[in-house]
Structure 1
Amino acid sequence: MDNPVGPVLRMGDDVELVVAAIEDDNPDREIEVIDRGAYVRVQASGHLRVTAVSLKRHLGEAFEIRSLEGMLSSFSGRINTSSDAIEWSLGRRAATTTAAR
C-alpha cells in the first residue's frame, strides 16, 4: 500500500466496532486491518476518516468521539480532529511529492 495513513488502536472490546465505523465512512477506499495482538493498525492510502455518526451507530449513542482518542496508541499521517470527525491524511509536502510522480 502506498502512503498508508490511519490509526493504531489499542486492543480492546470495541476495536472491531471502531473498525466497522471506519469502513462505513470510507466505502470507496481499500482499508487494510493488521492485527498485531496488542494493537490493531487500520490504514488506507492517502486519506482515512471516521465520523461521530458512524461511531455512535456502532458503539451506541453515548459514545463521544473524544473517547476514540483514548483508544489510539499511535497513528500514521497527519491527524485532524473535530467534534464531528477524525481524519488522517498525508501532509502537504507528501501530497505534493506524490502528485509530482
Structure 2
Amino acid sequence: MDHPVGPVLRMCDEVESVVAAIRDDNPDIDIDVVDRGSYVRVQGPGRVRVTEASLQRHLGPAFELRSLQTMLSSFAGRIHTSSDEISWEWATKREGARA
C-alpha cells in the first residue's frame, strides 16, 4: 500500500465498531486492519477519515468523537480534527517548511 495512514487503537471492546465506522466513511478505499494483540493498526492509502455520525451508528448516540482520542495510542500521517470528524492524511513535508 502506498502512503498508509490511519489510527493505532488500543485493544478494547469498541475496536471492531470503530473499524466498521472507519470502513463506512471510506467506502472507496481498502482499509487494512493489523491486529498486534494489545493494539490494532487501521490504515488506508493516502487519506482515512471517521465521522462522529458513523461512530454513533456503531457505538450508540451517546458516543462522542473526543472519546475516540482516548483509544488512540498512535497514528500514521498528519491528523486533522474538527467537531464532527477526524482524518489522517499523508504529508510529504511540514506546512510552513521552506522548499
- TM-score when normalising by structure 2: 0.92
Counterpart of 2:87, as a letter, is: E
Q: Give secondary structure in 2 for the equivalent of 1:55.
A: helix
- Separation in structure 2 between the aligned mates of residue 9 and residue 93 of structure 1, nearest angstrom: 25
Q: Deviations over 1:33-70 (max 9, x none)?
A: 00000000000010000000000000000000000000
- Separation in structure 1 between the aligned mates of residue 76 and residue 92 of structure 2, nearest angstrom: 14
> Percent sequence identity over matched residues?
67
Consecutive unaligned residues of structure 1, counting only runs of 5 or more, are 95-101
Q: Who is 2:40 aligned against?
A: 40
- Separation in structure 2 between the aligned mates of residue 26 and residue 4 of structure 1, nearest angstrom: 14
- Separation in structure 1 between the aligned mates of residue 14 and residue 58 of structure 2, nearest angstrom: 9
CA RMSD of aligned residues (A): 1.1
Alignment of 1:7-86 (within 5 A): 7-86=7-86
Consecutive unaligned residues of structure 2, counting only runs of 5 or more, are 95-99
Counterpart of 1:10, as a letter, is: R
- Separation in structure 2 between the aligned mates of residue 63 and residue 9 of structure 1, nearest angstrom: 16
Q: Give secondary structure in 1 for the equivalent of 2:93.
A: helix
More helix by share: 1
- TM-score when normalising by structure 1: 0.90
- Separation in structure 2 between the aligned mates of residue 61 and residue 36 of structure 1, nearest angstrom: 29
TM-fit CA distance, 1:93: 2.7
Aligned residue pairs: how many? Answer: 94
- Separation in structure 1 between the aligned mates of residue 59 and residue 92 of structure 2, nearest angstrom: 33
The structure 1 segments of at least 4 consecutive aligned residues displaced by more than 6 Å after TM superposition are none
- Separation in structure 2 between the aligned mates of residue 14 and residue 90 of structure 1, nearest angstrom: 26
